[in-house]
Chains A and B, each alone.
Chain A
């Protein structure tokens, strides 16, 4: 990437310049002061940009050139499943019959939308082994929040109000405890055992009649499958708790094993991970929530149902937790995921899981000689290394990540999970070829050699990006969150 001069859109403004010409008013014009009383009218104009269309297009094009997407290159960001985003899915979401439909149109005019939602619910239920799926949550964390609300509502409906605790492993995503806290739960942490799984004895000691449930990512954030999952489910259920599946890592198991069959009661998926919808630089995502039969009454309303006259929105759900978002969720994202599921079909998912796991193990095998591997066993779709060896030689995991930028890669997830020091979490996904993996492996090996020979060089990285290493401490110490003239 070449260095470029940067200028804010506000700095390009020229008074009087505009990019869009609107039609003349074709109805009798009344002065606004005759329509709306003066005291409700703005005192000062909103200082929005004044630029031409070509100014705007060049500005945003230039900004885009300072970004790195999946189409730019390899993006092994662990736990984020940055797989290729098929182009046809974008086309499908942009069809007029999906993109230009108002959410309050009468049901008989949106049968295609309702059918798509209904079928996606059905297909995701089959993939996860659950009985019903709500597509309303807008993102993974939103799905977690929804799932935990369902768990709470379920216990309370049984007249059990003392279950105020949610257990999460020490390897869990930060969203797990945060979601539990905002839904009114206390959070207890269960530690991991020496193999990286949930410590069963520790779990047993935490379980009692105050525990509402256990949130588990499986495979977990170390990229390891919970070998004791059957036992874990038994322990949690025996104490009256429910088991929550965080679907961040579902890419490893689709078509091979289903959370519903492992004993999970509530599942969320990330359509923007496992189901190939693009991340958009931080959303929109979609975090559908699936539940077992007993929990269906608590799903957010409306639920899409079908009868002899067609599909309809069912709001008559007295036990529902209510709504967690307006309308029916990130519909456009669901359209893309539906297209993806149809493209893969009955056989495609197993291939996805197998190849993603194969790719991760290949990287693990090739790099473990160079980087410390804290849990030396077969991994699932991602592998977690520690940069401790390199740190001892003078360059940290952050430095390794920044150096990868110079080699043209998006770095892995770093410093997570928290239980691995100097963590480097690599998730290649199934959509990368052996050639790409080999090139990345070479780059990682080269960096480890650079650290031996000239750690200072790695510590100064990156050198080739549009900006060099940024002062994040200054940004937080002296926050400048908007542009001022």
Chain B
């Protein structure tokens, strides 16, 4: 009956008689009568492909998309350009219909691509080892915190309020159930208040977390934090934006022990929040405590180079309740997108993307300030995202901009009551001068 079942009724009959049962119901005799569903599922009738496409296209059209609307929204998900090559490569069935590479001899494509991904992530972050990916930036951060607690045998992590609110929320959820404490430190002028870190750090602190650029787009001083943390024998977890790493000091250079972050902007569409990928990299010493899959290089029987999943004694299928994490499926195809993106952008291109974004963001910042309707919220260097305080109502402003086909900034009042008038804007290399000028014109005309 279903389009995706090839066996015909007569084939099924033949198979049943070979098995030696009268009907397919006989194969379900182990299911007690009392727990069988004695009616049809209450679902819509099956839609043939043509109707399905019509139905879902109509649904999709109810959303405003970033091709038709000019997007100045970031806050953890960014509208960077995705070169055409990325989609072509990840749409190859050999990649996207494969399972986790348990059989390395027929999975060298996935394995080598992930090995290359791990290498690129390490080169970007300045770390020694990377895993094959995590679910997203937030869960990667939470896993890093859990790992820090296990490595240091301490029960607390310190995190400033200027880390992405959703990351803090995910961290709190993981921590509550795993049994460690999340201590929140305060902000000063849009950045981590280093004095508050100093006053809150203790013998219980397993790790200090820093996001760079932070949720407000401001560039943090990881080195300053590193000194305090390491003096206290706490680890430093840097949560980084991967595009910014083309120009900003890497976590490795700044002395961090673990680097995590959201990899969406490396070739993954916004897709209403997922699937994205979390990247997770660390110093060599932490290798055997890392969560998730890791690919390693080896040789085959004839000495030829090949790749396998390795250090598996950390993982759930071997160690069960003693594993370093419960993660099994990760975001492999998204990691492949990131690898292809970093390959085609390359050493020069990624830097250009970062520089263009920074130039345009600073231009937008200047132009908006010039209108007299905004004031800078902080006096801090930023990369591609910044906070302005608006004279009037931010929600109202965003509503009016939507009518003009502009997706405005993130309303900070939603998560930071002190910043009710705060508007967090992101400007990527995709925004043209005309896009920015139009935003300014529309804002002024309201």
Contact of B138 among A53, A323, A335 (CB under 8 A): A323
5 A-B pairs with CB atoms under 8 Å apart are: A39-B249, A94-B87, A149-B173, A184-B178, A187-B320
Chain B residue at minimal CB-CB distance from A68: B106
Residue A393 CB within 8 A of the other chain: no
In whole angstroms, what is the CA distance A434 to B8 when docked? 9
A344 touches B46 (CB 8 A): yes
In whole angstroms, what is the CA distance A476 to B20 when docked? 48
Chain B residue at minimal CB-CB distance from A97: B60
Interface pick from B65-73, B195-203, B438-446: B65-73
In whole angstroms, what is the CA distance A215 to B175 when docked? 22
Map CB proximity to A onto B377-394 as digits: 1 under 8 Å, 0 otherwise.
000010100000000000
Residue A268 CB within 8 A of the other chain: no
Q: Which of B76, B273, B336 has the most CB of A within 10 A?
A: B273
Chain B residue at minimal CB-CB distance from A47: B123
Residue B429 CB within 8 A of the other chain: yes
Residue A238 CB within 8 A of the other chain: no
- Shortest beta-carbon distance, B36 to chain A, in Å? 5
B177 touches A152 (CB 8 A): yes
In whole angstroms, what is the CA distance A397 to B243 when docked? 46
B108 touches A466 (CB 8 A): yes
B105 touches A97 (CB 8 A): no
B19 touches A361 (CB 8 A): yes
Residue A392 CB within 8 A of the other chain: no
Residue A126 CB within 8 A of the other chain: yes
Q: A112-B63, A333-B275 are in contact. Are A104 and B73 (CB under 8 A)?
A: yes
B321 touches A181 (CB 8 A): yes
A282 touches B332 (CB 8 A): yes
Q: Which residues in A have their C-beta under 8 angstroms from that of B179?
A: 184
Q: Which residues in B have their C-beta under 8 angstroms from that of A365?
A: 18-20
Chain B residue at minimal CB-CB distance from A378: B27
Map CB proximity to A onto B345-358 as digits: 1 under 8 Å, 0 otherwise.
11111111101101
B347 touches A48 (CB 8 A): yes
Q: Which residues in B have their C-beta under 8 angstroms from that of A213?
A: none
Contact of A97 among B5, B63, B274, B315 (CB under 8 A): B63
Contact of A69 among B37, B97, B105 (CB under 8 A): B97
Q: Which residues in B have their C-beta under 8 angstroms from that of A253?
A: 31
- Shortest beta-carbon distance, A178 to chain B, in Å? 4
Map CB proximity to A onto B396-410 as digits: 1 under 8 Å, 0 otherwise.
001100100001001
- Shortest beta-carbon distance, A273 to chain B, in Å? 10
Residue A474 CB within 8 A of the other chain: yes
A139 touches B329 (CB 8 A): yes
Q: Which residues in B have their C-beta under 8 angstroms from that of A71?
A: 93-94, 97
Q: Which residues in A have their C-beta under 8 angstroms from that of B192?
A: none
Q: A30-B362, A42-B245, A105-B407 are in contact. Are A331 and B272 (CB under 8 A)?
A: yes
Residue B310 CB within 8 A of the other chain: yes
Contact of A323 among B115, B169, B269 (CB under 8 A): B169
Residue B227 CB within 8 A of the other chain: no
Residue A452 CB within 8 A of the other chain: no
Map CB proximity to B onto A35-58 as digits: 1 under 8 Å, 0 otherwise.
111011111111111110100110
Q: Which residues in A have their C-beta under 8 angstroms from that of B329?
A: 139-141, 272, 279, 282-285
Q: Which residues in A have their C-beta under 8 angstroms from that of B299?
A: 470-471, 474
Q: Which residues in B have their C-beta under 8 angstroms from that of A256?
A: 28, 31, 36-37
Residue B75 CB within 8 A of the other chain: yes
- Taking CB atoms and an 8 Å cut-off, the chain A residues in 345-367 that contact chain B are 345-352, 354-355, 357-359, 361-362, 365-366
Contact of B37 among A84, A99, A258, A322 (CB under 8 A): A258
B308 touches A475 (CB 8 A): yes
Map CB proximity to A onto B245-259 as digits: 1 under 8 Å, 0 otherwise.
111111001000000
Q: A46-B350, A174-B317, A431-B6 are in contact. Are A281 and B46 (CB under 8 A)?
A: no
